[in-house]
Amino acid sequence: MEKCYHCGEDCIDILEFSGRHFCCNGCKMVYEILETNDLSYYYELQERPGISQKRKKVDFSFLDNEEIVEKLLDFDEAGKQIASLHIPTIHCSSCIWILENLNRLHSGIQSSTVDFPRKKVRVSFSKEKVTLKEVVALMAGIGYEPSISLENYEKPEKQIDRSLIFKLGVAGFAFGNIMFLSFPEYFEVKEFWLDQFKYLFRWLMFAFSLPVVFYSANSYFISAYKGLRSRILNIDVPIALGIFVLFFRSFFEIITDTGTGFFDSLSGLVFFLLLGKYFQQKTYSYLSFERDYRSYFPIAVTRISKFEGKDIEEQIPVYKIEKGDRILIRNEELVPMDAVLLSGAATIDYSFVTGEAEPIDRVAGDKLFAGGRQKGGLIEVEALKPVKQSYLTELWSDEVFRKNKNKGYHSITDKISKYFTLAVIGIALIAGVFWLIADPSKAGNAFTAVLIIACPCAIALAAPFTLGNILRIFGRKGFYLKEAEVIEQLAEIDAVVFDKTGTITNTSKQEVNYAGMALNEEELQLLTGSLRASGHPLSRSLYNILKKNGIKVPEQFEEVAGQGIAIKDGARSMKIGSANFVDYKVSNLAEAEKTSVHISSDSDYKGCFTFRNSYREGTGEIFRELSKDKELYILSGDNEGERQQLEQLLPSGTQMFFDQRPGDKLEFIKNLQKKGLKVMMVGDGLNDAGALAQSNVGVAVSEDINIFSPACDAIMDVSIFRKLPELLKISKKAVGVIYISFLLSFLYNLIGLGFAVTGNLKPVYAAILMPLSSVSIVAFTTFCSYWLGKRLNFKKTES
Amino acid sequence: MNIIYLLLAVSLVVALIFFVAFIFSVKSGQYDDVYTPSVRMLFDDEVKTKKKETSKKSNQ
């Protein structure tokens, strides 16, 4: 099959333009725009760089509202406006190039700069020549549609925290200079002039070490203090102790002229530690893991108000909605607040909120809840509550979303550091007491030397480097983690809870079976013809299957919202819809719970089309693999209709629970945790958000990682869903690597302690031993984690 | 050997200049995005000539 020149998707109806094939009109149009503006270099940088244009375009008319535009601008002065726009679809170097050449598409745009990791574009333009709406529409036109949600409106861009890189810079600067100044004394050159200068060198080193101790290392002191206050011996306690002893012993040595001190080791230690921290901090910062309902809500809605007796439509910010306002909701738009339907046929898809896959029909006078998505035509509603008091927003006030999940979690490093700290202090005391009796002059020396050499730099580095590497490797495969610690938690999981709809089922694919008497040619054609005219989602998916039949448009057509379609054509009349609507008595409960479309012709019942979920490829394998050592559960917002099919597919130990509301899911996870289980929740929608937040590891499975993912610890690309068991295994192995590194670092410590307890620790030994242990640990963990990564021998399927 | 004082002073000044440059570069946001610039510098300016080449290629 031909691939689209623009986006690389398979072309079903091939469109041709200047000898190239396109999958849809959208893609062709983008190509035309780029071609006519001399921007086809876009296609040089990367093959098929475009984004499929089949998705529905968003209406940006809310950008006509001055108030909203003002909120979105970073800078607003005469002649120059700057806006930072989030473009989820940025994915390759072609994207960077085209977005930085926007000024060639419109002269009003002055410049644009892309921040690839954060998927942002900073556009400066002149209000006199081009409006923000035009800029946004232009970007959407070439396939880079900015995502503007309520979130942008509410909080200003967070200030970037650069303190770590400053600290790292200071430590590195001091480290280099101190090493340089201590060179003469490493070789103990007995030379007149160098002996003269060494005092100056020492005081300079002292001066350089001050910012390292008091600025760069301050986070260790603070963390150690906090740890001690809450009676936890975390890894920062021995580190802070080491730094403290290093500094004061060195200071003492230079004022009493007994030695050079350990300023080089001190600054080196801090530098390496910060380097480890920096390494761990570099995560997938461009994927947002902290989303709440605000990221999904529109920034503006269309309000209808009376003005001089006439109805006028205006765009207002969502927060301006008041009780009693009349609001217009279009196809595919979200209902932002609880409301009453005034007019129009509403088909509301609540899968966002409840997980129930089938849309629900509503008629005028019915209540609609916030978070539902309208599928079908235009509807008019009356707001019952302002946005902030709606059902969905109240769900978010649950405490789960506010507490810091990892507060009570002890990482492996923290676990081991307790024993480590006690051991080090014990050895230091024994050595000190021993020398106090044997040779009091060496006692202080030995005591401090133990604390210095045993400083757990290598231990503190093992976890950040191993986990940091694994995190990046996972990310390259399509499994994105919020932070490196999640890997440790993944290794401990003993119960896995799956959401059904959208997670293990494939929402875009449904299996349809027909049961009953066969329909004749004319009936089929009439059926297809009437389905075509209906906007109901079930009709649409059925139509897609039947459209290969001929189409006959019925003479009379009547659609009863929430019921079905009645048609008349000549002598024939047909009814298509719910069992009640076609006067069919459902015989048992199992049948009632299935999603079906019933058909009767000339008041004879014919049969029904039954919709069944289609499960993701490999679901059975995943469950069998996981069931070996984990408890498995399925929570579904749907009814029991699918139970039988699931029981056939999955291993016998799997427990299933249906009709679960978001709150039930959260409680379910809580109960499992009360039993002492470490729970992983795998879900996809907002309805799972509470459960994802409550679980030890919440994994959001997503078809498009940039567009939809609730608050969670990890985001998983659907294409690697079947690799879930493997990912868990790798996490376990990664933790194993950390333990081996600990062992290695203990060996180094033993050698160092040999020097220390005998009172023979010289600065040059420390200066060699300490970085050597750190570097070899880093090398070991890096090697091991890449080796583990190699075993993940699958590629993220190109999307 | 007193020249060491001078050398020391010079080396310190140079180190400090680099350090200050580092501080400024971080403050100006150069380290916020360490990926995009590495891609941006590889873009060709000669778009038009490039285009002709490709149209030739596609004609063949």
Do A679 and A531 share a domain, yes or no? no
3-class state of residue A447 by DSSP: helix
CB contact under 8 A, A96 and B31: no
The residues pairing with A596 across neighbouring beta strands, listed in sequence order, are: A610
User: Would you tell me the crossing angle of helices A440-453 and A412-438 to the nearest 10 degrees?
Assistant: 170
Token representation of residue A637: 């917002």
Count Cβ neighbours within 10 Å for each residue of A414-452 and write b for 16 or more, e otherwise: bebbeebbeebbebbeebbebbeeeeeebbebbbbbbbb
Specify the pLDDT at position A747: 87
Per DSSP bridges, beta strands A505-516 and A373-374 are unpaired
Provide the b/e sequence for A673-684 (b: ≥16 CB within 10 Å): eeeebbbbbbbb
The region that residue A231 occupies, defined by phi over 0 for left and psi between -120 and 50 for alpha, beta otherwise, is left
- Model confidence pLDDT, tens digit, residues A126-158: 988 888 888 988 888 888 888 887 777 665 556
- The answer to whether the Cβ–Cβ distance between A115 and B4 falls below 8 Å is no
Amino acid symbol at A199: Y
Is A512 found in the same domain as A502? no
Residue A20 contacts by C-beta under 8 Å, 6 or more apart in sequence?
A: A5, A31, B58
Distance CA(A612)–CA(A641), nearest Å, equals: 9
Chain B contact probe: residue of A112, A114, A274 with most B CBs at under 10 A:
A114
Is residue A276 domain-shared with residue A183, that is, in the same domain?
yes
Domain match, A610 and A620 both: no
**Residues found in chain A:** 799
A564: domain CATH number is: 3.40.1110.10
Residues A712 and A625 grouped into a single domain: yes
Range with the poorest average pLDDT among A113-117, A446-450, A500-504, B6-10 = A500-504
A141 in contact with B at a CB cutoff of 8 Å? Answer: no
Residues 12-51 of B with CB under 8 A from A: 12, 15, 18-19, 22-23, 26-27, 29, 31-33, 35-36, 39-40, 42-44, 47-48, 50-51
Whether A121 contacts A85, CB under 8 Å: yes
C-alpha A159/C-alpha A102 separation (Å) is 27
Segment A103-110 long-range contacts (CB within 8 Å, at least 24 positions apart): A104/A37, A104/A38, A104/A39, A105/A33, A105/A37, A105/A39, A105/A138, A105/A142, A106/A130, A106/A134, A106/A135, A106/A138, A108/A134, A108/A135, A109/A135, A110/A80
Which range among A207-221, A583-597, A652-666 shows the weakest confidence by mean pLDDT? A583-597
pLDDT digits (tens, 9 = 90+) for A502-512: 788 876 667 77
Block residue for tokens 């679960």 = A660
Chain A residues inside the 8 Å CB shell of B11: 180
**How far is A627 from A152, CA to CA, in rounded Å?**
43
Residue in B1, B19, B44 nearest the CB of A173: B19
Q: Is the pLDDT of residue B1 over 50?
A: yes
Residue A155: per-residue pLDDT: 57
Residue B32 reports pLDDT greater than 90: no
For residue A271, what pLDDT band results from cuts at 50, 70 and 90? very high
The H-assigned helical ranges of A260-403 are: 263-281, 391-395
Cβ–Cβ of A41/B51 closer than 8 Å? Answer: yes
Q: Are strands A604-615 and A505-516 parallel, antiparallel or unpaired?
A: antiparallel
B36:A96 CB<8 A: yes
Number of residues assigned to chain B: 60
Residue A70, both tokens? 């003002």
From A594, A614, A634, the end of a domain falls on A614
* Distance (Å) from the alpha carbon of A783 to chain B's nearest alpha carbon: 24
DSSP H helices in A642-762: 643-649, 662-674, 689-694, 724-757
CA A338/CA A330 separation, integer angstroms: 16
Domain boundary among A81, A114, A142: A142
pLDDT of res. B59: 46
CB-based contact A763:A182 (threshold 8 Å):
yes
For tokens 């006690």, what's the residue? A422
Residue B51 pLDDT level (bands cut at 50, 70, 90): very low
Mean per-residue pLDDT over chain A, rounded: 81
pLDDT at A276 over 60: yes
DSSP-assigned letter for residue A796: P
Please tell me the distance from the alpha carbon of residue A385 to that of residue A219, in angstroms, as a whole number: 46
* CA A131 to mean position of chain CA atoms: 32
In the structure encoding, which two tokens stand for residue A51, read together? 């984004």
Last residue of a domain, one of A614, A643, A659: A614
pLDDT of residue A405: 58
Q: Answer whether residue B40 shows pLDDT above 70.
A: yes
Residue A446: per-residue pLDDT: 84
Query: What is the pLDDT, as a whole number, of residue A344?
Result: 81
Q: Which range marks the domain in which residue A209 is found?
A: 161-286
pLDDT tops 60 at residue A576: yes
Query: Which residues of chain B have a CB within 8 Å of the CB of A40?
Result: 51, 54
Predicted local distance difference test score (pLDDT) of residue A148: 80
Backbone angles phi, psi at A634, to 5 degrees: -125, 130
- Contact at 8 Å (CB) between A365 and A306? no
- What is the structure's pLDDT at A478? 82
Query: Do the beta carbons of residue A375 and residue A335 sit within 8 Å?
Result: no
Q: Does B57 touch chain A (CB under 8 A)?
A: no
Lowest mean pLDDT among A48-57, A358-367, A790-799: A790-799
Q: What is the CATH number of the domain that holds A666?
A: 3.40.50.1000
Contacts of B6 in chain A (CB under 8 A): none
Check whether A397 has a pLDDT greater than 70.
Answer: no
Amino acid at A106: H
Ramachandran assignment for A323, one of left (phi > 0), alpha (psi -120 to 50 degrees), beta (any other): beta
Is residue A215 predicted with pLDDT exceeding 90?
yes
Is residue A188 domain-shared with residue A121, that is, in the same domain?
Answer: no
> How much is the CA Rg of chain B, to the nearest whole Å?
23
Short-list A295, A352, A297, A399, CA closest to A690: A399
* Whether the predicted pLDDT of A206 surpasses 60: yes
Task: Give the position of tokens 């209808």.
Answer: A304
Q: What is the pLDDT of residues A151-191, one digit of tens each?
A: 776 655 566 778 889 999 999 999 999 988 887 777 776 77
Of B18, B40, B50, the CB nearest to A100: B40
Q: What are phi and psi of A378, to 5 degrees?
A: -75, 135
Kindly state the average pLDDT of the residues A627-654: 83
The model's confidence at residue A799, banded by pLDDT at 50, 70 and 90, is very low
Residues of B in contact with A169 (CB under 8 A): 19, 22-23, 26
* pLDDT confidence bin for A593, thresholds 50/70/90: low
Question: In sequence order, what are the beta bridge partners of A339?
Answer: A368, A383
Please give the pLDDT value at position A707.
Answer: 55
A166 touching B (Cβ < 8 Å):
yes
Percent residues over pLDDT 70 in chain A: 88
Question: Which residues of chain A lie closer than 8 angstroms to B51, CB-CB?
Answer: 38, 40-41
Instruction: Say if the Cβ atoms of A115 and B1 lie within 8 Å.
Output: no
> ipTM > 0.90?
no
B39–A173: do the CB atoms touch at under 8 Å? no
Distance separating alpha carbons of residues A253 and A260, to the nearest angstrom: 7
User: Given an 8 Å threshold on Cβ–Cβ distance, is A162 in contact with B31?
Assistant: yes
Nearest to A169 among B22, B44, B48 (CB): B22
State the pLDDT at residue A497. 92
Q: How confident is the model over B18-45, as a mean pLDDT?
A: 84
Q: What is the pLDDT of residue B54?
A: 47
Domain match, A267 and A172 both: yes
**Per-residue tokens: B48:** 């038009």
Distance between B43 CA and the closest CA of chain A, angstroms: 7
Interchain pair A162, B23: CB under 8 A: no
Q: Give the pLDDT confidence of A704-739 residue by residue, as tens digits.
A: 665 556 677 888 888 888 888 989 999 999 999 999
pLDDT single digits (tens) A451-479: 888 777 788 888 888 888 888 888 888 88
**Mean pLDDT within A343-366:** 77
Chain B contact for A216 (CB, 8 A cutoff): no
Question: In whole angstroms, what is the distance from residue A588 CA to residue A15 CA?
Answer: 50
Query: With contacts defined as CB-CB under 8 Å, which chain B residues touch A176?
Result: 15
Pairing between strand A300-307 and A714-717?
unpaired
**A485 is a domain residue:** yes
Helix axes A412-438, A724-757, angle to 10 degrees: 10
Neighbours of A596 (CB within 10 A): 23
> From the candidates B19, B20, B34, B59, which should be mutated to test the interface with A, based on the most A CB atoms within 10 A?
B19
A321 and A361 share one domain: yes
The position carrying tokens 């610890």 is A713
Q: Are residues A554 and A480 in the same domain?
A: no
Q: Contact A744/A428 with Cβ under 8 angstroms?
A: no
pLDDT confidence of residue B14: 92
* Confidence bin at B60 (pLDDT 50/70/90): very low
Is A420 a member of any domain?
A: no
Q: Which amino acid appears at position A21 of this protein?
A: H
Using CB atoms within 10 Å of the CB of residue A79, give its burial: 0 to 12 exposed, 13 to 18 middle, 19+ buried: exposed
Interface test with A, best of B39, B48, B53 (most A CBs within 10 A): B39
Residue A519 phi, psi (nearest 5) = -90, 140
- Are A494 and A543 found together in one domain? no
Residue A41 has its nearest CB partner, among B11, B29, B50, at B50
CA trace torsion A420, A423, A429, A431 (10° rounding): -110
Q: Check which CATH number belongs to the domain holding A366 and give it.
A: 2.70.150.10
Residue A212 pLDDT level (bands cut at 50, 70, 90): very high
Instruction: Flag whether residue A35 sits within 8 Å of chain B, measured between CB atoms.
Output: no
In a domain, A758, yes or no: no
Does residue A483 share a domain with residue A632? Answer: yes
Between A521 and A133, name the one with better pLDDT: A133
Number of domains in chain A: 6
Q: Is residue A782 part of a domain?
A: no
**What is the pLDDT at residue A154?**
64
Q: Are residues A316 and A258 in the same domain?
A: no
Q: Do B54 and A193 touch (CB under 8 A)?
A: no
Task: Write the residue in B15, B19, B26 that is nearest to A165 by C-beta.
Answer: B26
Query: How far is residue A461 CA from its own chain's centroid?
Result: 26
CA pair distance A256, A444, nearest whole angstrom: 14
Q: Report the alpha-carbon distance of residue A580 to residue A174 in Å, rounded.
A: 81
**Domain membership flag for residue A448:** no
Residue spans per domain, chain B: 2-58
Question: CB–CB of B15 and A177 under 8 A?
Answer: yes
The pLDDT of A780-786, averaged and rounded, is: 89
Q: What is the token pair recorded at A534? A: 């209906």
For residue A757 the two structure tokens come to 């307890």
Q: Per-residue pLDDT averaged across A387-408, rounded?
A: 65
Q: What is the mean pLDDT of residues A411-431?
A: 85
Are A178 and A202 within 8 A, CB to CB? no
| φ, ψ (nearest 5 deg) of residue A234 | -80, 175
| Stretch among A30-44, A100-114, A165-179 having the lowest mean pLDDT | A30-44
| pLDDT average, residue stretch A590-609 | 77
Q: Do A160 and B29 lie within an 8 Å CB cutoff?
A: yes
At residue A603, does pLDDT exceed 80? Answer: no
Structure tokens at A477: 């495969």
Q: How far apart are the first and last CA of chain A?
A: 17
* In chain A, residues 374-393 whose CB comes closer than 8 Å to chain B: none
Query: Residue A356: its pLDDT value, please?
Result: 66
User: Which CATH number goes with the domain that contains A135?
Assistant: 3.30.70.100
Q: How far B26 CA sits from the closest chain A CA (Å)?
A: 8
Per residue, the 3-state secondary structure of A17-72, as one string, reads ECCEEECCHHHHHHHHHHHHCCCCCHHHHCCCCCCCCCCCCCCCHHHHCHHHHHHH
Query: Residues with Cβ < 8 Å from A442, sequence gap 6 or more?
Result: A435, A759
